[in-house]
Amino acid sequence: MAFLRKAVLWLLVVVLGLVLVLALSIPFDALIGRDRVAALTNLSIPNPNGPPVRAFVARPETPGPHPAVIMIHEFWGLRADIVGKATALADEGYLVIAPDTFRGGSTGWIPRAIYQTISTDPAQVNTDLDAVFAWLATQPDVVADRIAVMGFCYGGRTALLYSLHNTEIAATAIFYGMADTTPEQLTVLNGPVLGIFGGADTSIPQEEVAQLEANLDAAGIPNVMTLYPGQPHAFVTDIESIRAGGPQLEAWNQLLGFLRDTLYSAAAPNSDAPLLLADQSATTLLGTLHHRFVCGL
């Protein structure tokens, strides 16, 4: 009996020690990584509701005006993989801005990633994104009514919530992010929705994807919800892996088609020329894909 009590006591000490180590690791990681966001960003946007919003901006080499895309990072925070994807998307003819929604938080350590996600107020994120949107809308090389929002994981959820908050958003692309919504809430959306999910994602069941699609349909919002068979959560990683081919490239090309269809479908202000890219071969027609899971059919 005494041995059992000692074993339980030692187990409790070990568990408490691990909890303490994990708790201390969060501020330690923040301390050693305090310059990560500054090293990745090239713009500071004035913010009437808080400190300036740091962001990475990538512009096309071709003359504007261009549609714009707000690209929101995963729960890690703003990192080099998002910068790479933003740059690649700018090469397709979009002005892309990747804001830091964690106000300086960027990590590769899961405990801190979880902490900074649950400790960040979604309302604060929306007001920071309002500052980003306002900055974009005043840029002479941006088509102000052709601004989309997209994101990955935490960023996918945030993108959808921001589109519900800001009804001027022209389109929303969600990479394996989920938010509880009703058809009534979704009716305020101003544009179509693209959802890309992994068929083997254990964190977002296929039933939730189907429910989101059903709610969007009930709200009358054009949408494409795609499951990529066998793919886990967060399967679209960095631009180098995307260019290597496979499901990552398929998902990226689907995004490009969606953005072409939704953001390049109107003429530029004060211009008789339509907003069209030179290469339209990969265009995906929303009317064809609506209500379908395009992968695995």
pLDDT tens per residue across span 54-63: 999 999 999 8
Q: Is 295 a catalytic residue?
A: no
Q: Is 153 a catalytic residue?
A: yes
142-152 and 95-99 strand pairing = unpaired
| Domain annotation for the chain: domains and CATH numbers | 37-267+276-289 (3.40.50.1820)
Q: Please identify which of the residues 233, 238, 272, 295 carries the catalytic annotation.
A: 233
Q: Helices (H), strands (E): how many in the chain?
A: 11, 8
Q: What's the predicted TM-score (pTM) here?
A: 0.86
Whole-number average pLDDT of the chain: 86
Q: Evaluate if residue 275 carries a pLDDT over 60.
A: no
Q: Which of 181, 223, 228, 173 has the alpha carbon at shortest distance from 201?
A: 228
Q: Please identify which of the residues 73, 201, 261, 295 carries the catalytic annotation.
A: 201
In the sheet that 171-175 helps form, which strands lie side by side, from edge to edge? 43-45, 53-58, 95-99, 66-72, 142-152, 171-175, 193-198, 223-228
Q: Please identify which of the residues 29, 100, 128, 153 carries the catalytic annotation.
A: 153
Q: Is the pLDDT higher at 284 or at 189?
A: 189
Angle between helices 2-32 and 110-118 (to 10 degrees): 70
Q: Evaluate if residue 150 carries a pLDDT over 90.
A: yes
